[in-house]
Amino acid sequence: MAWTRDDMAARAARELRDGFYVNLGIGIPTLVANYIPDGVSVTLQSENGMLGMGPFPYEGEEDADLINAGKQTITELDSSSYFSSADSFAMIRGGHIALSILGGMQVSEKGDLANWMVPGKMVKGMGGAMDLVAGVKRVVVVMDHCEKSGAPKLLKACSLPLTGAGVVDLLITELGVFEINRGKTPVRLIELAPGVTLDEVKAKTEAAFEVAL
């Protein structure tokens, strides 16, 4: 049994360390907040200008002036702070955020990430993704192992326009976990999801990788 979306989020949550300031992307990365390990306290940054994101509000208590980067209503904590977009990205680009967990379209064995545009389709924009991968100390990508067509997404080189070159530290898919190390060392498969075979991973992966299970 390959991992579910929630399993992948729970695995990504194991990358959190006590005291980390963390930025979570949209999609599966948002679910990571549900799996923060016991004894680990992290501060969630929202790049639209908040540190210390609280849970979603109760119905009737939504505040139009309080949203996350996915434009969802959220709440504040006693420890929260607000700041401008320039201050927010100074945190991100200045290397003050310990960990970013993002979705991906393609990852290459060189540590490149593509997650913002598909040529020929309407492009929505990169938002803060290019800043996050360029500035955050450790970048974890959570994505499906293959496209719906079955085409691999862990590649020798990305075919889509890049979000960042040599920026991915760790990749989590429904099949397992890969150490990418920003392309500085060969890709290593370090975990397999339960019931997933090495042969299956090899068949569904274009990138070269070492096995270090």
Residue 147 annotated to the active site: no
Pick one of 103, 127, 183, 186: the residue that binds other proteins (CB under 8 A). 127
Quick note: the x/- pattern for other proteins over 3-42, rule CB under 8 A, is: ---------------------------xxxxxxx------
Write out the two tokens for 30: 């948002």
Strands laid side by side in the 106-108 sheet:
113-114, 106-108, 154-155
Q: Which is nearer to other proteins, 61 or 210 (CB)?
A: 61
Of the candidates 15, 47, 109, 174, the residue annotated as catalytic is 47
Give the number of other CB atoms < 10 A from CB of residue 197: 10
> Residue 24 pairs with which residues in a beta bridge?
101
Quick note: the x/- pattern for other proteins over 81-100, rule CB under 8 A, is: -xxxxx-xxx-xx-------
Write out the two tokens for 37: 């390990």
CB 71 within 8 Å of CB 106: no
- Interface with other proteins, residue 177, by CB under 8 A: no
Residues 6 or more apart from 5 whose CB is under 8 A from it? 28, 31
* Closest distance to other proteins from the beta carbon of 206 (Å): 20
- Interface with other proteins, residue 63, by CB under 8 A: yes
Pick one of 2, 7, 73, 144: the residue that binds other proteins (CB under 8 A). 73
Quick note: the x/- pattern for other proteins over 39-58, rule CB under 8 A, is: -----x-xxxxx--xxxxxx
For other proteins, how many residues bind (rule: CB under 8 A)? 64
Query: Could you tell me which of 1, 45, 30, 35 has the C-alpha nearest to residue 15?
Result: 35
Question: Dihedral of the CA atoms 149, 27, 177, 17 (nearest 10)?
Answer: 170
Phi–psi pair at 112, nearest 5 degrees: -75, 150
Specify the amino acid at residue 199: D
- Interface with other proteins, residue 165, by CB under 8 A: yes
| SS3 state of residue 64 | coil
Stretch that binds other proteins, among 123-131, 147-155, 184-192, 204-212 (CB under 8 A): 123-131
* Closest distance to other proteins from the beta carbon of 140 (Å): 16
* Closest distance to other proteins from the beta carbon of 199 (Å): 34
Give, for 171, the enclosing helix (H) or strand (E). Answer: strand 170-172
Residues that bind other proteins (CB under 8 A): 30-36, 44, 46-50, 53-59, 61-74, 76, 82-86, 88-90, 92-93, 112, 122-131, 134-135, 161-166
Residues annotated as catalytic (active site), given as ranges: 47
